[in-house]
Amino acid sequence: MSAAKDGFVPLRREQQSGLAFCLAGLFLAAPSFLLPFVSLNKFGNTRVCFLMNTAGGLWHNGMAALGGWVLFCGMLAPLALLLVLAATFASELAGSLKANQVLVRAATMLAHWAMPEVMALGVLVSVFKVRDLVNVRLGPGFWCYLATALTLLVALRSFKVEFGDANETSPEGRELR
Amino acid sequence: MKGTLRIRRPVRSKTAALALAAAVMLLPANLLPVMHIATAGRVPADMTIFGGVKALGESGLWYLAAIVFTASIVVPLVKIAGLAVLLLAACGRLPRHRNRLARLHSLLETIGPWSMLDVFVVGFLSGAVRFGAFGSIEPRGGIISFAVVVVLTLLATQAFDRRWLGSDGPPSNALVHESQAT
């Protein structure tokens, strides 16, 4: 007797692992926003920065649009992408085709603008760049953010394996990065 | 014998306009300072993208200098040159090696976001290093131009449709009159 006849449909490994990584990423995203991102010290003055502060410098120097853009690409888009990917994998596992098409399109769009790995590298470059000006220590928020970025990359890989062909033949005719 | 008239699709104006605008914005992005560094005991200085790379190299961080140089200078140039090649191929001015060109488009999509590195660096530093008279880093206009270059190249890459590359073959003319035996 086949598995389908038993009412049991085997879940696909890619979908399961993709969903697991998305949930792990979402779980790690909370501390990355709430815990100290970096702490800087100059002549005894200590300044603790959180993830949201990283776009604040641009905002306070009259570059609100650019600050918003950094906020979007570095924080909001990755978070939204994790949510959408989790929903995509979940709907795929649940067999909801209609919801899936909308979610796949949203994920494909968001994937172009979510750049947490670039931002993580940017923070590391910045830390080395100013190490002779101020004492910098990376906080737990940064490591959680880095872990979130890595889980997003792995989840995107699973998404690409699952939906890569669909994207190629979609009206947009594009692939995920 | 029956003659068929095959008319080439219109010029890919949206992608071309975005790529051209990005190429123009590269000049202010690289010539204007992207940040201002003021710290106690040192002369305040404006820094361009290349100046930042040079400073990293001079302080012995050549590996970081190489990363920033690649992400901030090489990647935008490669993206604009790559888009030009894709557009010329799509317009029939270059031979259409579809697989190679599709790989080039994939490469441009992959490397595209990495040119945001300098924007994140300036954003982070200007938000974090704020010690008043002891030391501060402020963004300058060049970073806006640079961010515009990044966004325009990303949009141009997204606007390019691989189906424009058609199939492998020699460059086609704008208007091709083909005779086909039917």
Per-residue model confidence as pLDDT tens digits over B7-32: 555 557 888 999 999 999 999 999 99
What does the pLDDT look like over A59-94, one tens digit per residue? 888 888 999 999 999 999 999 999 999 998 888 888
| A149 close contact with B: CB closer than 8 A | no
Contact A128 B123 (CB under 8 A): no
| A4 close contact with B: CB closer than 8 A | no
- Contact residues, chain B, for A113 at CB < 8 Å: 154
Q: How many domains does chain A have?
A: 1
pLDDT at B167 over 70: no
Pairing label, strands B2-7, B45-47: unpaired
Contact B29, B149 (CB under 8 A): yes
Contact A10, A3 (CB under 8 A): yes
Please state the rounded mean pLDDT for residues B106-112: 90
Burial A78-93 (b: 16+ CB within 10 A, else e): bbbbbbbbbbbbbbbe
| Cα radius of gyration (chain A) | 19
| A169 close contact with B: CB closer than 8 A | no
Domain that holds residue A134: 13-160
Assigned domain for A6 exists: no
- The per-residue pLDDT for B173 is 41
Query: pLDDT band for position B81 (50/70/90)?
Result: very high
For B146, the closest chain A residue by CA position comes to: A66
B76 vs B91, residue with greater confidence? B76
- The per-residue pLDDT for B11 is 52
Contact B125 A129 (CB under 8 A): yes
Contact A61 B59 (CB under 8 A): no
| Residues 6 or more apart whose Cβ sits within 8 Å of residue A32 | A51, A141, A142, A144, A145, A147, A148
| A77 close contact with B: CB closer than 8 A | no
Contact B33, B49 (CB under 8 A): no
- Closest-CA distance, A120 to chain B, in angstroms, reads 9
Contact A57 B162 (CB under 8 A): no
Lowest mean pLDDT among B3-12, B131-140, B169-178: B169-178
Contact A54 B138 (CB under 8 A): no
- The per-residue pLDDT for A132 is 78
- The per-residue pLDDT for B128 is 82
- The per-residue pLDDT for B37 is 85
Contact A57 B137 (CB under 8 A): yes
**Distance of alpha carbon B84 from alpha carbon B90, whole angstroms:** 10
| A121 close contact with B: CB closer than 8 A | yes
pLDDT at A108 over 70: yes
Minimum-distance CB partner of B59 among A54, A57, A132: A132
Contact A126 B154 (CB under 8 A): no
CATH number of domain containing A147: 1.20.140
A4 vs A128, residue with greater confidence? A128
pLDDT at A16 over 90: no
Burial classification of residue B89, based on how many CB atoms lie within 10 Å of its CB (0-12 exposed, 13-18 middle, 19 or more buried): buried
Assigned domain for A174 exists: no
Contact B128 A54 (CB under 8 A): yes
For A121, the closest chain B residue by CA position comes to: B117
Mean pLDDT for chain A overall: 82
Minimum-distance CB partner of A173 among B125, B151, B162: B162
pTM of the model: 0.82
pLDDT at B180 over 60: no
Assigned domain for A94 exists: yes
**Distance of alpha carbon A107 from alpha carbon A83, whole angstroms:** 9
Count of A-B CB contacts under 8 Å: 141
- Closest-CA distance, B155 to chain A, in angstroms, reads 9
- The per-residue pLDDT for A176 is 47
Contact B124 A118 (CB under 8 A): no
pLDDT at A35 over 90: yes
- Contact residues, chain A, for B125 at CB < 8 Å: 57, 126, 129-130
Assigned domain for A67 exists: yes
ipTM over 0.85: no
**Distance of alpha carbon B151 from alpha carbon B116, whole angstroms:** 9
Please state the rounded mean pLDDT for residues B71-92: 90
- Contact residues, chain B, for A47 at CB < 8 Å: 128, 130-131
| A74 close contact with B: CB closer than 8 A | yes
| Residues 6 or more apart whose Cβ sits within 8 Å of residue B83 | B15, B19, B108, B153, B156, B157, B160
A170: left (phi over 0), alpha (psi -120 to 50) or beta: beta
pLDDT at B154 over 90: yes
